[in-house]
Chain A
Amino acid sequence: MTFLDGFNAFALLYFVLLNGSQLLTAGFSIAALRRHASRSRLLHVLDDYVARGGAPAITLLVPAHNEEPTCVEAVKSLLTLEYGDYEILVINDGSTDDTLGELARAFDLVPANRFPLATLPTARVRATLRSARHPRLWVLDKENGGKADALNAGLNHCRTPLFCAMDADCVLERDALKRIVRPFIENDTTVAAGGLVRIANGCVFKGGVLTDVRMPDRWLARFQVLEYLRAFLTGRMGWDAMSALLIISGAFGLFRRSVVIEAGGFARDTVGEDMELIVRLHRFCREKKRPYRITFVPDPVAWTECPERLSGLARQRDRWQRGLVDSLLRHIRMLGNPGYGAPGLIAFPYYFFLEMLGPVVELFGYVAFVAALIGGRVSAAYVAAFALLAFGFGMALSIAAVSLEEQSFHRFRRTRDYMHLFVLAFLENFGYRQLVTYWRLHGLLTSLFRVKGWGAMKRLGVLHRPAKIAAGLTLLSLFLAGAPARGAYWQFSNSYERQSYGPPRIAWYTTTWVMERKVRRGSLTVEGLRYRRFGRTDRGGAAEGYLALWPKAYANARFQAVVKAEVVPRVEGHGEIFQSFGKQWEASFRYRHMDFRLDDVDIYAVSLAKYAGRWYARTRFSWIPQTTGAGYAREIALRRYGARTDDFFELTLSRSSSNAVNTVAVGVTGDQTTSLAARAQKFWNPRFGTALIYLVEDEIGLPPRRGLSGTLFWRWGTAEHVVPLTTKESAPSPD
């Protein structure tokens, strides 16, 4: 067994443990929800008590930082909650916009005295104000200190036995407080209770009140709807049933004031203050040997907006992972410690090994799996079985959450919304989960290296995003080194291209460094790129691979990313599948995506190629859908091979029609472009080769472009790394 085999076995075991645990909590969740539904019919006993003002008073702590556009509406909705005795304490945490002004004007705020009853350290409180029109509304104005600091300031001024920590952009349902207070009435050892947080994107609110629940329009938000349902309904309910709940959402949680103050309030030096508090409460109560309960209630609902852009979602997931890591490492003594009961013995190990370290195993698992695939270490049957298992787990959990939602709450009134969720449960396995895993890995690494923010990452020098990708894929290359294969080799190449544009002669330069590993079943390249255009320089990296799929079929995929791209796409990728058929014919389908600074471009292409002796001909047709109208491109390539497959001469003629992609500009331009490229490549000996490319491009309305590039190749590896071409063999496909 090689290292690769061992790692794959470990990854499989991890995968089974993770998903098995999640299925187990889902099972507990199902039972708990049924019990809850049954008990809910009894809770009129408590409704009367709450309605007559007998229930404990609650203070809503609402930290607000730069919430000028939404703060007034948010507070208005809080003023309409159905609960006897509560007050609202908005903490203006050093906003630089006019949050305080908006609140003051909308609610007639006047200075009022409110003596702090606790002394948790916080940034300076500048003023306390009260609404002249709504006596239950208070505003604390303080210097900026972050969310935890703001909550602690609110806690210092809290006068009620319970407080509710929430986000300023959350909308609570009218009966949310009535429902979330129930655990405190049923059991007076309850110290914290979390409510259900759902995605507000796409829903209809009128006057701060939810009137219609709908799925969001954007796919990214839709994936998060499913994620939240899964996390809360099959996750937290299950952990609560095991009395091992380690997380209560910072967007909506009810706490017992005295215990939280005694435990030290919210930690100000972490981004995961919500989880850290819960873990600390477990530890505090158990170390003090006090009976306590931390629970989750699925009834009371808070609605929150989720990020709809990749960048926002990335930041959020990165932050969540950092919060998780920090919370766990601070309280590491709880790990597997029977003194901390179910939280220490069950929940903590799960979060530590499977959630915290999970992204490392997952991402390297993907890499190792691909390596094993390329290296011929796994079979198609294994691939299919693993894919079925992986998708089965993911879909079962997600659809279980959806069915729990339907059975217990039935919030989505439209059948098509449920259908959307079922489809999402399948689709999220193709990219979304992997993206989230990547962001979580980033959060883990930043937390372990103790740096904050993306900017600080640059100072480390090794963690530029493209460089990370390149580093990861270099590791893959090392895996591939363990794969014995005839015809395998390593190759390094360096190319330099100069293009001139005009008149006037504006020069562009492109430099590329490529490391390739070629094995029997395919190849993998890792590239470093540098583009110099218009006095600006873009640097980036790319990875590309070829992989044999089934007989006479193979795939090609490429991913390229450029840091702070100004002249080339920020992110670019393509995938292409080739299938041979008949007598040396080959067809392919390609999808290419380019993400420019100002625009995105998708290109769909089909091609047909024919091999005949040493000749190879291909025609490709591309379609580029755009909002301004579709563009088209046609390309014909003709190649003549020499004595070896690496020696050839190729001519390529292409023509693209209106609204076609100008690959050197920052988006899509119009009119027609005709280009002709000639390429000559030769290996002078088994280890050294050169290539030369001459390009001419003519675009209507723009100056003509000429380009010349030269490439040097160095190869090493097994002795038989170059396959000589005989007249009886077909030429391999062009790369």
Chain B
Amino acid sequence: MGLSLPAAPPDRLLWCMAGAGLGLFLLACGFAVYAVLAGARSFQKSRSERAIQETWTRAILRVLSGEEGPPVLLRLVGKNQASAFSHFLLQFARRLRGPERRVLTTLAAPFLGAVAERLPDPDPEKRARAVYTLGLLAPVRFNEPIRAALDDPSSSVAVTAAFVLLTHRSADDARTVLQRLDRFGTWDTGLLSFLLGQVGAGIAGDLRQILEDRGRGLRARQIAAQSLVRLQDPLAGDCAARVLSNENDPEILSAVLAILKNLGRPEHLESIRAACAAPSFFVRAAALTALGRVGGPGEEAFLRDFFDTPNVWVASHAADALKRIGALTFLRAVASSPHPRAVLARQILEST
């Protein structure tokens, strides 16, 4: 019919396009093959892992209960299963303490050399995993390298080292961590104070020292303050009051006010009242909460002024404080009136 396509001229662009297209097509096929093989492999692997885990679990329960000795389990671990076995032991190490943990350490001992070899690995995730494994399974034997990991350039490794050191609740290890509180980058201060809180009252003095040390970083002092609250340290209140009188940083002020909320005494009221006039609203709010916990009915007139403040966050803390000091008559009157904060008063009265 005379309708034919013109011949294609040899063209570098054309060859590039065709080559790239073919390459991408082959890449897609490669991905597909990889996905299928990976799926099959992981299915096989998980099936065999499940079988091995069941075998090891039965054996380790007999070992932990004293029915059998460690060699019974160690005989079941193959040459290439060191890493898998260490990982298996970790799930018990996270939960067990005391004699059972020592049994785990005995079981892990032959395999930890290979784990320790990963401590200088260039990949921070591998270093962190090695620190975690060694710290939980053989904290005494590898105490030095774990402590050294606190100075690792990666904050993930440092936090992992702090975690494993602090789980053993040794005041000595905890002090090592406390010296490096500024190293933990941007990790949540709550996490670190949670870990420190597990150690116990033995480090309370160190924490108070950090809190009062203006040469320490902001985060370190915040962590110290939060940890003191968790420890319910009876001397923390005085320390906090001293810091409150000398400090301007809003983050530090709100951290020490949290201490005073829990551990303050009537002699701290003057400092707390002064903080109620701080420029930052969240410091004012924290101060009002502390006033509500530490103060008494005599604070009602002072607190009422803050109940009407434009800042609702501050007002809600003032309302809470009024309830705590027993100003229920005032709150009930507001609740049943057309006052703009009537809903707030009702909410506070309803809350437990």
Could you list which residues of chain A lie within 8 angstroms of chain B, going by C-beta atoms?
Answer: 35, 38-39, 41-42, 44-46, 48-49, 52, 54-56, 112-119, 184-189, 291, 376, 379-382, 384-393, 395-396, 398-400, 402-403, 405-407, 410, 415, 418, 422, 425, 520-522, 548-552, 554, 580, 730, 732-733
List residues of B whose CB falls within 8 A of some A CB. Answer: 1, 3-9, 11, 14, 17-18, 20-25, 27-29, 31-32, 34-36, 38-40, 42, 87, 90, 94, 123, 125-126, 128-129, 132, 156, 159-160, 163, 185-191, 194-195, 312-313, 316, 341, 343-344, 346-347, 350
Q: Which residues of A contact B23 (CB under 8 A)?
A: 392
Cβ-defined partner of B160 (8 Å) among A42, A188, A380, A405? A42
A39→B132 CA distance, assembly (Å):
12
Q: Is the CB of A425 within 8 A of B28?
A: yes
Interchain CB contact under 8 A, B21 and A391 = yes
B312 near A118: Cβ-Cβ < 8 Å: yes
Given contacts A406-B42, A415-B40, 4 further A-B contacts (CB under 8 A): A112-B350, A113-B350, A407-B35, A730-B1
Q: A395, B4: Cβ atoms under 8 Å?
A: no
Task: Tell whether, in the assembled complex, residue A379 and residue B8 are in contact, meaning their CB atoms are under 8 Å apart.
Answer: yes
CB-based nearest B residue for A730: B1
Residue of B nearest to A184 (CB): B188
Q: Which residue of chain A is the closest to B26 with respect to CB atoms?
A: A392
Least CB separation from B34: chain A residue: A403
Q: How far is the CB of A404 from chain B (nearest CB, A)?
A: 9
Q: Bound complex: CA of A406 vs CA of B24, how far in Å?
A: 20
| Cβ-defined contact, A393 with B156, below 8 A | no
Give the residue of B36, B159, B346 whose beta carbon is less than 8 angstroms from that of A45.
Answer: B159
Assess A399 versus B32: contact at CB under 8 Å? Given A184-B188, A388-B17.
yes
Contacts of A185 in B (CB 8 A): 187-188, 190-191
Task: Compute how far the CA of A405 lies from the CA of B87 in the bound complex, rounded to whole angstroms.
Answer: 24
Chain B interface main SS type: helix
List A contacts of B191 (CB < 8 A): 46, 49, 54, 185
Q: Once the chains bind, are B129 and A395 in contact (CB under 8 Å)?
A: no
A249 to B128, CA, bound (A): 32
One of B8, B185, B194 near A382 (C-beta < 8 A): B8
Give every chain A residue within 8 A of B347 (Cβ-Cβ). 112-115
CA–CA, A8 to B25, complex, Å? 23
- By the criterion CB–CB under 8 Å, are B94 and A48 in contact? yes
Asked if A116 and B194 sit within 8 Å, CB to CB, the answer is: no
For B186, the chain A residues whose CB sits under 8 A away are: 186-189, 291
Question: B residues within 8 A CB of A384?
Answer: 18
| Residue in contact with B22 in the complex, picked from A112, A392, A730, CB distance below 8 Å | A392
The answer to whether A39 touches B156, judged by C-beta atoms less than 8 angstroms apart, is yes
Asked if A35 contacts B125 (CB within 8 A), the reply is yes
User: Which 5 pairs across A and B sit closest by C-beta, in order of nearness?
Assistant: A392-B24, A381-B8, A388-B21, A548-B3, A389-B21
**Shortest Cβ gap from B328 to chain A (Å):** 15
- Chain B residue nearest to A403 (CB atoms) is B35
Q: How far is the CB of A45 from chain B (nearest CB, A)?
A: 5
Query: How close is B93's CB to chain A, nearest CB, in angstroms?
Result: 10
- Expressed in whole angstroms, the Cα–Cα distance for A390 and B343 within the complex equals 62
B38 A399 Cβ-Cβ under 8 A: no
Are B18 and A388 interface neighbours, CB within 8 A? yes
A105 nearest CB across to chain B (Å)? 22
Nearest residue, chain A, Cβ from B185: A187
Alpha-carbon distance between A140 and B344 when the two chains are bound, in angstroms = 16
Residues of B within 8 A of A425 (CB): 28
CA–CA, A386 and B24, complex, Å: 12
Which residues from chain A contact B188 at a C-beta distance below 8 Å? 56, 184-188
In the complex, chain A residues whose CB is within 8 Å of the CB of B125: 35, 38-39, 42
For the complex formed, measure the closest distance between the CB of B258 and the CB atoms of chain A, giving whole angstroms: 14
Please measure, in the bound complex, the distance between the C-alpha atom of A410 and the C-alpha atom of B34, giving whole angstroms: 13
